[in-house]
Amino acid sequence: MTFTLQELATLSGAELIGDPKLQITGAASLGEATPGEISFFANRKYIGLLRKTCASAIFVPPDFAEPINAAQVRVSNPTKAFEQVLLKFAPSTVTFAPGIHSTAIVDPSVQLGERVSIQPLAVIEAGTRIGDDTIVGAGSYIGHETVIGSACHIYPQVTIRERSKIGSRVIVHSGAVIGADGFGFEMVDGRQEKIQQLGIVQIDDDVEIGANTTIDRARFGRTWIQEGAKIDNLVQIAHNVVIGKNTVIAAQSGIAGSVQIGQRVLIGGQVGVIGHIEIGDNTALGAQSGISKNISGGAWWASPAVPLAEAKQQIAWVRRLGKLFARVKEIERKLGL
């Protein structure tokens, strides 16, 4: 598939600086683009790649002033414009025909909406309700009395345990487990005895859950992932956690039980959060931070986490310790100590 540069500029509502008849045959990153392809530049840290790119055209911000040989497509959001064009060159979307595959096991009591697709070897237990246009991937398990909304995509090999509540337009990637028992035990007569986990998991509309992520059911009440939250691969969310609207959690993070996380929180990779604390709205947690107390707002980093500016200052101090020790030894030598 080929487009002229003018066609792509018109699609993006952009200003074109270059040959409008230039033929564009694909889209790629600055480092991978070849002649005939279009790329994008939206972050100054990639200026080195920009100067070396072989792309024939580049989406750039309106105030772009770097001298380059490639044609410029000036647009307010180069990243979004590039995404739109990338979709034009992408292969057609994989679709799944409505209906129940002959190898799937669906209890007679299950209520299916219109155009639902149940793929091979899926198991849908009694009392489950699934909304219109939802896809349940091959080998997935949907437990008893679970409710799944419309236009969801449950990828292959997902486990959703009993009585979970899933909203609409939710995406759950392969290997995720929703509704496993929370990790609750109590020492009785010198032995660990299991505390029954009788609650549910509730996942609201427009949530995406990454591969091999685990979201435990509540001890009582609910573990609640609110509307628009995005959770990466390999994340552990314990019982009775609440994740606020439009919060983003990166891979390998672990959230202990009964943590309350606000709206629009950004959690970097490998962050650990101890149980029974609160993280307020609009907080950003740097990668590998350890959160041990209630915090709210701003950027935090390190373990235990402190405000970002303080964490950077502490690192600078630590890195200067060697020189400080050397100075002290020299002073002691001069003083004859």
Cα(80)–Cα(93) distance, rounded to whole angstroms? 19
**């509704």: which residue's tokens?**
179
Asked if 239 is an active-site residue, the reply is yes
Edge-to-edge strand list for the sheet holding 99-100: 99-100, 117-118, 135-136, 153-154, 171-172, 208-209, 230-231, 248-249, 266-267, 283-285, 298-301, 306-307
Helix, strand or coil, per DSSP, at residue 331 = helix
Cα(136)–Cα(130) distance, rounded to whole angstroms? 9
Q: Among the options 144, 153, 239, 276, which is catalytic?
A: 239
Structure tokens, 273: 């959060």
Instruction: Return the number of other C-beta atoms located less than 10 Å from residue 170's C-beta.
Output: 23
Instruction: Give the containing element (helix H, strand E) for 223.
Output: strand 222-225
Q: Return the active site residues.
A: 239
